[in-house]
Amino acid sequence: MNRNQPALRINPRGLTLKAMHCTAYGSPDVLKLREVEKPKPLKSELLIKIAATAVTSGDCEMRTCNMRPTMYLPFRLFIEIIKPRKPILGMYFSGTIEAVGKDVKTYVVGDEVFGTTGFTMGTNAEYVCIPASRSFIKKPKSLSHCEAAAAAPLGAWNAVHFIRLAKILAGEKILVFGAGGAIGTFFIGLAKLAGATVTAIDSKDKLPMLTQIGADFVIDYEQQDFTKSDQKYDVIFDVVGKSPYKKSLGCLNLKGRYILANVGFTPMIRGGVDI
């Protein structure tokens, strides 16, 4: 954000809000804090006052359009060629319901909720309107807004999806490649709850944390190639899409599952999401 930007004018009637606009594709300098009209919920929507939001690697990819070649053109056509069609980025939030549409029956004003707006985005702002059917739930009192917005929607929900794909059984051996991010850390916890033995791979600085959250074994990917070991696994979960495809398959037990969270074009052709 430009530090020399003038202060925002605050509408005395409270009809405006502050939002971070992505004015073009590029570095963080393209983000500008602006005053926009406060949204009003439709009959099936909620108006949420955002207490916390998250900036993920996905948001950065959308701002810069720096993504794998196979996704570049379709994504650019989807979000617009010159600049983002939806200038207020952000998919994850935690906040308090301030108003509800007349058809909303499951939530009331004052409920604290957290979740995702998906590709409709818009959470890098003070308020957002979302359909009551969108992916969000009431926030447990044990979680702060920051914990709920920054970690749970992206990490936990995705981890649950991949845990279900993996169909982990007690006693199985699991390898998590790129384990130190939001999805990988939640995946480790869920795999341990299922009774699995977990090996986590990431950079050296993340290994103590991975051990602390429950990984039975940790590997520094810069020092050790897991494919050169004699160890076999029932599930290999690659969070970052950088494990060697053929060599990884060779590290699986009979009926082992190789699961990719970040799928490139070649694995899509091979059908390598759930093998």
For residue range 183-205, what is the model confidence (pLDDT) as tens digits? 999 999 999 999 999 999 999 99
Please report which confidence band the pLDDT of residue 2 belongs to, taking 50, 70 and 90 as the band edges: very low
Q: What 3-state class would DSSP assign to 3?
A: coil
Q: Tell me, what's the pLDDT at 54?
A: 87
Q: Are 172 and 234 in contact (CB under 8 A)?
A: yes
The one-letter amino acid at 243: S
**Model confidence, pTM:** 0.74
Dist. CA 37–CA 15, nearest whole Å: 6
* Pairing label, strands 173-177, 197-202: parallel
- Lowest average pLDDT, out of 22-26, 243-247, 267-271, goes to 267-271
* CATH domain 154-270 topology: Rossmann fold (3.40.50)
Cβ atoms of residues 251 and 227 within 8 Å: yes
For 5, 7, 83, 87, 220, the CA distances from 2, given in Å and listed in that order, are 5, 11, 19, 17, 39
Burial of 192 (0-12, 13-18, 19+ CB in 10 A): middle
Q: Tens of pLDDT along 46-85? A: 999 999 998 887 788 778 776 665 565 556 555 556 667 7
CATH number attached to the domain at 16-150: 3.90.180.10
Tokens representing 137 are: 């739930």
Residue 267: band (very low, low, confident or very high) from pLDDT cuts 50, 70, 90? low
Q: Where are the alpha helices (DSSP H) in 176-270?
A: 182-193, 207-212, 245-249, 265-270
Domain ranges, ordered by start, for the chain: 16-150, 154-270
How far is the CA of 150 from the CAs of 90, 143, 216, in angstroms? 11, 11, 26
Lowest mean pLDDT, pick from 23-37, 53-67, 134-148, 161-175:
53-67
